[in-house]
Amino acid sequence: MSDGKKILITGGAGYLGSVMTPIFLHAGHSVTVLDNFMWKQPSLAAVCHHPRFELINGDARTESTIKPLIKQADIVIPLAALVGAPLCEKDPIAATSTNLDAVMMLLDMLSKDQWVLLPNTNSGYGVGEGDTMCTEESPLRPVSRYGRDKVAAEAAALERENSLSFRLATVFGMSPRPRIDLLVNDFVHRAVTDRTVVLFEGHFKRNYIHIRDVARAFLHCITNFESMKGNSYNVGLSDANLSKKELCDKIQEHIPNFVVLEAAIGEDPDKRDYIVSNEKIEASGFAPKYSLDDGIEELIKGYRMLRNSIYSNV
């Protein structure tokens, strides 16, 4: 493929990167992954044979490590992050230095011709406005350090010419580096292993997206970069703006003996509550392929392999 791009992915051996990397390689691109392997995961073992794949074990915060890698890249995808509100509160210095400072350093090193595809979170919307859809023009009101740092990194990236950002819905689905602590993945895991969940603030709503559709959204934007650059895009399933209780009801369709206990006391550490419009990226020609039902069925199979929680971020 003559128009294949050279892509650098920091944190590319994580939950998202270990799904994206083989998809990018299959599409004809060359991929270099920089990862510090803090979870000791062999998640890219299946692509080590690939001649267009390169792997560096290092830290995205180290200037001398990242500088020579950036020089060779057409596209940079800064996936390296401490992901999620609880993990960031546990180690705030590492969180901000990875989620914000490392991205700022990377942006300073780039030439104006290099592309940046920035993964962000739609948790920047914080607490929404009831039944009003959050669009890319909605005010950003992050309620956690994780959300604040990601919002600041997006603002910095979009100030340069050749960047775009994805405000990802809550991602679900299996990966070579699983994440059991993400909401859909967590609830299906509880349904499979414990047959029960105690639900706090079950009316809180959010949007969801399959991990393979996230990879497809990145590919779509590489193909259509000239018409899409300079913007942020919500990436989620438009038919999956669901409350946590509605999510549990959906899981019960697949696992009928899953018991959901709603608790009047206690609260969710992640206070997100909003519904999201994905019309902007859909108008560019992108459509998700994988439904919430597809993801639940896939996770049920996956949890027959993973009978422990060593793959949780917190």
100 assigned to some structural domain = yes
Question: Distance of alpha carbon 48 from its chain centroid, rounded?
Answer: 23
204 assigned to some structural domain = no
In sequence order, the 6+-apart residues with CB closer than 8 A to the CB of 162 are 112, 113, 114, 115, 116, 225, 229
Question: Total structural domains in the chain?
Answer: 1
Q: Residue 229 is part of a domain; what is its CATH number?
A: 3.40.50.720
Tell me the per-residue pLDDT of 127-168, one tens digit each, with 9 for 90 and over. 877 789 999 999 999 989 999 999 999 999 999 999 999 999
244 assigned to some structural domain = no
Q: Cβ(76)–Cβ(110) under 8 Å?
A: yes
Hey, how many other C-beta atoms are within 10 angstroms of the C-beta on 122? 29
187 assigned to some structural domain = no
Give this prediction's pTM: 0.95
User: Among residues 145, 67, 159, 161, which one has the least CA distance to residue 105?
Assistant: 67
181 assigned to some structural domain = no
247 assigned to some structural domain = no
- Between CA 246 and CA 239 the distance in angstroms is 12
- Expressed as residue numbers, the domain containing 107 is 6-169+210-237+277-288
- Between CA 309 and CA 114 the distance in angstroms is 39
Hey, how many other C-beta atoms are within 10 angstroms of the C-beta on 259? 14
200 assigned to some structural domain = no
Which pLDDT band, with edges at 50, 70 and 90, does 301 fall under? very high
Q: What is the dihedral of CA 91, 31, 165, 98, to 10 degrees?
A: 20
Tell me the per-residue pLDDT of 74-97, one tens digit each, with 9 for 90 and over. 999 999 999 988 999 999 999 999
98 assigned to some structural domain = yes
Tell me the per-residue pLDDT of 6-57, one tens digit each, with 9 for 90 and over. 999 999 999 999 999 999 999 999 999 999 999 899 999 999 999 999 999 9
